[in-house]
Amino acid sequence: MEIKPNNIYLGDSLELMPKITDESIDLIITDPPFAIDFKAQRSNYNRKGTYVLEGYNEIPREEYYEFSLKWLKESFRILKETGSIYVVSGWTNLKDILNAFEEAGFHLLNHIIWKYQFGVYTKRKFVTSHYHILLGIKNIRKYKFNKIEHYPEDVWIIKREYWTGKIKTPTKLPEKLVEKMILYSSDPGDVVLDPFLGSGTTAVVAKKLNRQYIGFEIVPEYYEFALNRIKMASKSLLHAENTLK
């Protein structure tokens, strides 16, 4: 099977990534499994579990480093010399991601903190209200960095998106967060890959920003959800174009 831009694919990213041509991807943005005891339908953040799609796939803790190393090595192979990768991670198994990052060959350019509005209530420890975002590059002399802000800081305060009363996947990145990554590290027409597509946000935002996209998702329900979001985004963009004519 040939992997082509502007498509998403149902399947295991560890099986699909090897099908991508060497040095053909400009940017990778992804939120991989965290290897934690995650309950997809738990009523976190004031959401009703019945609105959350089932099927979330987690990685056993003891296999997490090897899993991370496999997909990061593939990421390094398929990225262009000018390419970059953003990896979103929780803190629990961050050391595995960091070690795999280095082993795969990436230069860690920035360790970004994404601060959101609040986390899950706790009684005997501090509330976690942030995620880590690792920005890696393949070639320290050739990577893209579009300075879209005068003073680009490494702490990003961006609210989570709450789709009240709507069907959703259990984990999803805000469009504003993905938009920032794409604008900083790619140009129009570039190919953006998300090997753990989830709800499809990376593909949707890439399309809106005139980038090409590729996405892989192993859960059929999430794949269909993402496919529908991309179709809706396409219709919205087409309507906007027709309105301007």
Q: How far apart are CA 36 and CA 30, in angstroms?
A: 17
Host domain of residue 65: 7-244
DSSP H helical ranges for the chain: 13-16, 64-78, 94-104, 175-185, 201-208, 220-244
DSSP state of 64: H
Is residue 169 included in any domain, yes or no? yes
1 found inside a domain: no
pLDDT over threshold 50, residue 80:
yes
Q: What are phi and psi of 170, to 5 degrees?
A: -70, -30
Name the β-bridge partners of 52. 168
Q: How confident is the model at residue 60 (pLDDT cuts 50, 70, 90)?
A: confident
Average pLDDT over residues 43-60: 50
Q: Is 67 contained in some domain?
A: yes
Q: Are 192 and 178 in contact (CB under 8 A)?
A: no
Ramachandran class of 45: left when φ > 0, alpha when ψ lies in -120 to 50, beta otherwise: left
The CATH number for 140's domain is: 3.40.50.150
Q: How confident is the model at residue 86 (pLDDT cuts 50, 70, 90)?
A: very high
Q: Tell me: the pLDDT tens digits for 205-227? A: 999 999 999 999 999 999 999 99
Q: How far apart are CA 18 and CA 231, in angstroms?
A: 27
Note whether residue 12 is domain-resident: yes
Mean pLDDT of the chain: 87
Domain membership of residue 2 (yes or no) is no
User: Does 76 reside within a domain?
Assistant: yes
Q: What average pLDDT score do residues 62-85 get?
A: 96
Task: Report the predicted TM-score, pTM, of the whole model to 2 decimal places.
Answer: 0.88
Region 90-119: what's the mean pLDDT? 93
- Total domains in the chain come to 1
Q: What is the pLDDT of residue 30?
A: 95
